[in-house]
Amino acid sequence: MEFNMNYVKDFMEEILNIPSAGGNTKVALNRVKEEFEAMGIEVKTTKKGAVIGVFEGEDNKNQKIICAHIDTLGAMVKEIKPNGRLKLSNIGGFSWNSVEGENLIIKTSKGAKYTGSLLPEKASVHIHPEEARELIRTEENMEVRIDEDVKSAEDTLRFGIKVGDFVTFETRTIVTNNGYIKSRYLDDKACVSIIFGVCKYLKDNNIKPKNTILFYISNYEEIGHGVSIIPEEVDEFLALDIGTVGIGHTGDERSVCICAKDNRTPYDFEFRNKLVEMAEEEKLNYKVDVYYRYASDASMVVLRGADVNFACIGPGVDATHHYERTHIDAIENTMKLVVKYITK
């Protein structure tokens, strides 16, 4: 299989730089909708705003869902402090240490954008030597320093910044010459780009999948309710989501990771083994792993009672929910496994 990896990397970088914290994903969803349409793929949207690319296969009665989520971690303005700085409430599961010192964007309800940085209330070692070094970072002691002349809550309000406004952190996306991809929000925009790389491969090579594939781009996965609609014709649900790399895990940044169990449920044994056999047939670098604190669109949808078989695969990613890193090899191995799955 020969993929257009430059297309995959370019599209990944583009969508990584479209802010899409959970609950505020419309711009990113419109962009993926445009990309499906540009490829001549029928698009449907759910009432919650998710985008589904319908790729017709030879068998339309037994359909498959392949899902990745466009929503990311982020935050929301919780309080405007008397000094004009902001307290935040997190969107999704991340540690405040992971975003300390990061530049960010505040998007107001009217669409205006302002920049700022996230800092501890006692940030300077010159002024607070012990606290700056030792204070545990929590929602209560982190604040946004807005890049405007604000010294009071009234100053901030005059810029139109209010409680409920969305905040996203700078991604700092870098692709190195030796193939490493570093960025915030590889979870799960790396997998969204995999879906489009697969679609481009199928289109460019005039390949028709064995079954009709619903490429489902969900928009509330980080909050736990990403997928709401499972058509009656769907018998298998494959989530594309990052594989966690680190101590106690088998995955690595160059492999496609096949999830055996997350902290919610084991994944279907036969489905998982089918994916393992396909990976071995294609001589892919793959790892089977058990994830500690993790859930995917696949595990969450079956926990809500969907009658569908389910599995989860994705590229190995280091430092998940922090400043993440993967390798282009893991992206390509995942794409090859997806193509094998939908054409066998």
* Residues shown for the chain: 344
Mean pLDDT on 280-286: 98
Mean pLDDT on 171-191: 98
Phi, psi of 215 (to 5 degrees): -80, 100
Mean pLDDT on 148-171: 97
* 58 in active site: no
**181 torsion bin: left (phi>0), alpha (psi -120 to 50), beta (else):** beta
22-35 pLDDT per residue, tens? 999 999 999 999 99
Q: Tokens at residue 122, please? A: 């006692």
User: What is the reported pLDDT for 219?
Assistant: 97
Determine the Cα–Cα distance for residues 239 and 68; give it in Å rounded to an integer: 6
User: What is the reported pLDDT for 228?
Assistant: 87
Confidence of residue 36 (pLDDT cuts 50, 70, 90): very high
SS3 of residue 24 by DSSP: coil
Classified by CATH at the fold level, domain 74-169 comes out as Elongation Factor Tu (Ef-tu); domain 3 (2.40.30)
63-86 pLDDT per residue, tens? 999 999 999 999 999 999 999 999
Determine the Cα–Cα distance for residues 47 and 332; give it in Å rounded to an integer: 33
Which residues lie across from 257 on neighbouring strands? 287, 314
Active-site residue, from 221, 222, 236, 324? 221
191-249 pLDDT per residue, tens? 999 999 999 999 999 999 999 999 999 999 999 999 988 999 999 999 999 999 999 99
SS3 of residue 274 by DSSP: helix
Determine the Cα–Cα distance for residues 185 and 53; give it in Å rounded to an integer: 22
Mean pLDDT on 260-270: 96
Looking at domain 5-72+185-343, its CATH class is alpha beta
Structural domain boundaries in the chain: 5-72+185-343, 74-169
Kindly give the interhelix angle for 328-343 and 269-281, rounded to the nearest 10 degrees: 110
- Cβ neighbours for 78, distance < 8 A, ≥ 6 positions apart: 86, 87, 88, 89, 139, 163
User: What is the reported pLDDT for 230?
Assistant: 94
- The answer, yes or no, to whether residue 1 has pLDDT greater than 90, is no
Determine the Cα–Cα distance for residues 285 and 255; give it in Å rounded to an integer: 5
- The answer, yes or no, to whether residue 94 has pLDDT greater than 90, is yes
User: What is the reported pLDDT for 135?
Assistant: 92
- The answer, yes or no, to whether residue 344 has pLDDT greater than 90, is no
Determine the Cα–Cα distance for residues 265 and 301; give it in Å rounded to an integer: 11
- The answer, yes or no, to whether residue 276 has pLDDT greater than 90, is yes
Determine the Cα–Cα distance for residues 80 and 143; give it in Å rounded to an integer: 10
pTM value is 0.96
Q: What percent of the chain has pLDDT over 70?
A: 100
What's the mean per-residue pLDDT of the chain? 97
User: What is the reported pLDDT for 296?
Assistant: 96
Least confident of 128-137, 282-291, 318-327: 128-137
Determine the Cα–Cα distance for residues 27 and 50; give it in Å rounded to an integer: 12
- The answer, yes or no, to whether residue 151 has pLDDT greater than 90, is yes
Extract the runs of DSSP E, i.e. beta strands, from the chain: 42-45, 51-55, 59-69, 74-80, 86-91, 103-107, 113-120, 142-146, 166-169, 174-175, 180-183, 211-218, 234-240, 243-245, 256-261, 286-290, 309-318, 324-327
